[in-house]
A and B are shown apart, each in its own frame.
Chain A
Amino acid sequence: MKQPIQRDLFPGALEMMILRTLKRQPMHGYALVQQIKRTSNDVLRIEEGSLYPALQRLLKEGFVKAEWGISATNRRVRIYKLTAAGGKHLEREVSSFERMLKGITQVLAPGEL
């Protein structure tokens, strides 16, 4: 059996990327996927669908809110927007991620073996 959600890298990473992307500007699901794919230079292969459960989780936590609107292609879509709580959560996540990354980089740094 497949894991229902294909987690990229580590748990919470997808949420973090969503929040970061939404911090720049509110957007709807499809645009969000394309944006994340584009900015990560297609390195991160995420299943497009897996975005939605993550969005629902964030909605439930109150880190984002959603409103129905009209997309650029003139479709009725749900536009997601970062909340204040979401912004704080993102900061916390990013700083802890950076600490972790730093640790990993140090371990992986050449010449110290």
Chain B
Amino acid sequence: MNWLRQLFSRRRLHRELSEEIQAHLDEKVEELVAGGMSREEARRSARREFGNVGLIEENCREVWGWPSVESVFLDIRYGRRALSHSPVFTAVALLTIAIGIGANAAVFSVVNSVLLRPLHYSKPEELVALHQVAPGAEGLTDFENGLLLSPSMYFTYAEHNQTFQSLGVWVTGTANVTGLAEPEQVRTVGVSDGVLQAFSVPPAARRWLLQTDQVPRGPERVMLSYGYWQRCFGGSQTVVGQNIMLDSQPREIVGVMPEGFQFVGADFDVIVPLAFDRGKQILAGFGYHGIARLKLGTTIADANADIARMLPVWMDSWSNGPGTNPHIYETWKIRPMIRPLKQEVIGNVGELLWVVMGTIGAVLLIACANVTNLLLVRVETRQQELAVRAALGAGWARIVRGLLVESVMLGLMGGVLGIGLAYAGVRFLVAMGPSNLPRLSEVSLDARTLGFTLVLSVLSGLLFAVFPALKYAGPRTAAALRSAGRTMSASRERHRARNLLVVGQVAMALVLLVSAGLMIRTFEAMRNVDPGLADPQHLQLVRISIPGSLVAEPERVTRTQNEILDKLAAIRGVKSAGFVSEMPMEGFDSDWDEIFAEDKVYAENTIAPLRLYKYISPGLLQTAGTRLVAGREMTWSEIYGLQPFVMISENLAREMWGTPSAAIGKHLREFPKTRWHEVIGVTQDVREKGVQETAPEIVYWPPLVENVFGTGQARATRAVTFVIRSDRSGTESFLNEVREAVWSVNSNLPLASVRTMWDVYDKSMARTSFTLVMLGIAATMALSLGIIGIYGVMSYTVSQRQCEIGIRLALGAQRGDVLQMVLRQGTKLALVGVAIGIVAAFALTRLMTSLLFGVTAHDPLTFVAVAALLILVALFACYIPARRATLVDPIVALRYE
């Protein structure tokens, strides 16, 4: 603890040194006086012979340890004094830095929480999503991005794998809970055995669903989410072991998952066992997400190889029914592409967040450039002070360090303020962020964010000290002492740094403006797309599903839906109503399959292109505003009569028969053995997966169809979205009447996903609008900082050249000439900046290609418009100082001298 004692004895050491040196000087003086010198002269002579007392004392102190620390403390004191002497400069600089750093801290906290932090499961690195692709499957483009697992795949993988500790499949859904208060639709997750084991998150109450709960038609059991447990049962322990009515069936609650447990980024209320009936499984049925935990020391590559090995086993072990060839799936080229679970949770927001982070970083750079500019001006006015310090024996390095310490202090203080702003910023981001942004609830300012902010603060502090330090701390004491205070025009060299900064600022602002401009164009393009719907603001959506336990008979289900529709249509202000298995962009798992045309020949052992299946009621197309291109809709009586009619989308009609009208009267069927359905209508294409995705080919079936799978004559679509067109959509009174109408038909039916089509729309565009807003904010900040930068430099230049301008005017220069001269200088800077910016933007905007729609990353219109805007703004920023230059009174200017 020697250093500790040293630290405490420091003061004494300093005191003793001073005393000793003073005694030395006194003794010397006395000796010289005794030698006949005058006291005054003796004192001078003693000091001269002794040397620089301050410096020597400092050198002595330096021997004892931490000289740098100590002198840095001194520098800090000095810096604080210097900063508090110019409050306006300090305030402006601090605010600029605080905004820059605050914005960065806020965005970083989102990036950190969403992308960097590990998932909240134990050993999250072992968790993987069993992702697979089927590039060979025609028709649905989705399959290039991912083919879900079928139950038979799950059985094969679970039984034959060598690389997983546990493996399972899951699927989200909804269920109706009755018997509590009002009937309620809850979000369910169906899980196979192995899923909870893979997560390996211990339950908050009682136990998991186990293999014994996965028995088909066995005892029905469920687990609750913590949130649902709290919300509906107040967290009561006694509820565990009791029954809950789920889809009108009693199910025993066996356990509760802990707080904060999310199912791969999704919230849920109830976990139900999937309880697959092994004997009834076929190859198909690709509707389940796979999750697994890797064995210790196993890599994803091993696991991929393992799955690839099991795919032929799967095809050998299962079939799609007698007479089918199980190996036709070879044409799909199914390939495992296992991904870390984190990647599955994050999805495609990674790119978006990095782009936002990048732009916000650029804003900070621009802010730093501005502060650097301010510092340069300040250091220039402080040149004399610095020169005096140098003359008094301060070393070059010492002065540079002083400047560095001062600006790092600025950076740190800005960082502290920035953290405050970041708190507000994070709230804003969370409120603004797309609701489908994963892990949004986890966003917070944590230690890593604080560390990041600290590093950022110090770095920016160093960054904006570099220019002044290099320029003014050089060994030019004499020159500085002499020239400072003289009013002459600055040399070109003195302006170079500042000009460089302005050019950089303009260039960066241009890049940001171009990217924001591209997002605006994207947004515009998306808004201009005809989605196949009209006026989504006035479309009210309500999701209702009728479980078999409530209404068993299929036709009864359709009749109930029909009745609800009639009641809805009778509500005041309702123009029309219809229902459909799912509206575009609603995000429910969609139905798809092959379709065969009577007049086409299909090769053996291949799978026909897959088409989206939708089930619609009469009146749906008219209500949604989807145009009928040819033919007609179905009627209710045809539906109840199970007439073999079908409708198709325009693009499917064109693909198969060339024109929509040619499709009318043609025949289609779903399976090789089922009866033919006549095409009676062709509809406008609908952008099912969002406006930026091409419209898929769709087959529209009636809601009640012949049952080709099992027993019973017909099959009804039990979960449908009711679509109501009314000017009153979204209002409370209207929704009450809708509820009344539904419950007057069956009071056990909960209404779920109550929203307007516009909300759905908005949600599907959330990613784009979030990017747009973020880039917009960044670009606005960049633009305003850029303007301030140009304005600051130009007005400083003008004020420095006041005398020169005065002389010019006195010698007969016209005011117009002066105006032009200043404007020309500013414009030149702006032009160089714009040119560099265009090159940079050209290279950088390519990174955001995946965020764009309907516009290329090198959209000339955006580039030209932004460049023009920037030049105009720069001209404007120069104009004010230029005006002031022309107002210089030669007499006044010269009198300064």
Binding site for B on A (CB under 8 A): 1-2, 4-6, 28-30, 33, 47-50, 52-53, 56-57, 59-60, 71, 73, 75-78
Contact = CB atoms under 8 A, between A and B. Distances in A.
B144 interface: no
Contact of B27 (A49, A52, A56, A73): A73
Contacts of B17: 52, 56
Contacts of B393: 1-2
A79 B53 CA distance: 20
B475 A75 contact: no
Contacts of A71: 23, 27
Given A49-B53, A71-B27, A29 B63 contact: no
Given A30-B27, A73-B30, A52 B64 contact: no
Nearest to A68: B16
Residue among A33, A47, A49 having the largest count of chain B Cβ atoms under 10 Å? A49
Contacts of B16: 78
8 tightest A-B contacts by CB? A49-B51, A49-B56, A56-B63, A53-B59, A47-B51, A49-B50, A56-B60, A48-B50
B24 interface: yes
Given A47-B51, A52-B17, A30 B28 contact: yes
B20 A53 contact: no
Given A30-B27, A75-B27, A50 B63 contact: no
B51 A53 contact: no
Given A48-B49, A49-B50, A53-B63, A77 B23 contact: yes
Residue among B50, B52, B63, B390 having the largest count of chain A Cβ atoms under 10 Å? B63
A4 B50 contact: no
Contacts of B385: none
A1 B63 contact: no
B21 interface: yes
Contacts of A4: 52, 55-56, 59
7 contacts: A1-B393, A4-B56, A48-B28, A49-B56, A53-B63, A60-B63, A77-B20
A1 B23 CA distance: 28
B19 A49 contact: no
B395 interface: yes
A29 B24 contact: yes
Contacts of B30: 73
A59 B49 CA distance: 24
A49 B22 CA distance: 11
B396 interface: yes
Contacts of A57: 63
Contacts of B21: 49, 52
B64 A56 contact: yes
A53 B62 CA distance: 8
B59 A76 contact: no
Contacts of A47: 49-51
A52 B56 contact: yes
B20 A52 contact: yes
A112 to B, nearest CB: 41
A59 B51 CA distance: 21
Nearest to A77: B23
Given A48-B51, A75-B27, A1 B60 contact: no
A79 to B, nearest CB: 11
A74 B59 CA distance: 28
Interface in B37-90: 49-53, 55-57, 59-60, 62-64
A47 B55 CA distance: 13
A78 B50 contact: no
Contact of A53 (B19, B56, B390): B56
B26 interface: yes
Contacts of B390: 1
A30 B23 contact: yes
B52 A49 contact: yes
A85 to B, nearest CB: 17
A30 B26 CA distance: 10
Contacts of B23: 28-30, 71, 75-77
A37 to B, nearest CB: 10
Contacts of B55: 4
Contacts of B49: 47-48
Contacts of A76: 19, 23
A35 B63 CA distance: 24
A12 to B, nearest CB: 15
B63 A78 contact: no
Nearest to B51: A49
Contacts of B62: 53
Contacts of A28: 23
Given A50-B51, A76-B19, A60 B59 contact: no
B56 A75 contact: no
A84 B537 CA distance: 96
Given A49-B56, A73-B27, A75-B26, A1 B395 contact: yes
Nearest to B61: A56
Given A1-B396, A50-B56, A52-B21, A60 B27 contact: no
A94 B59 CA distance: 26
B797 to A, nearest CB: 33
A57 B57 CA distance: 13
Contacts of A56: 17, 60, 63-64
Contacts of B57: 52
A75 B49 CA distance: 21
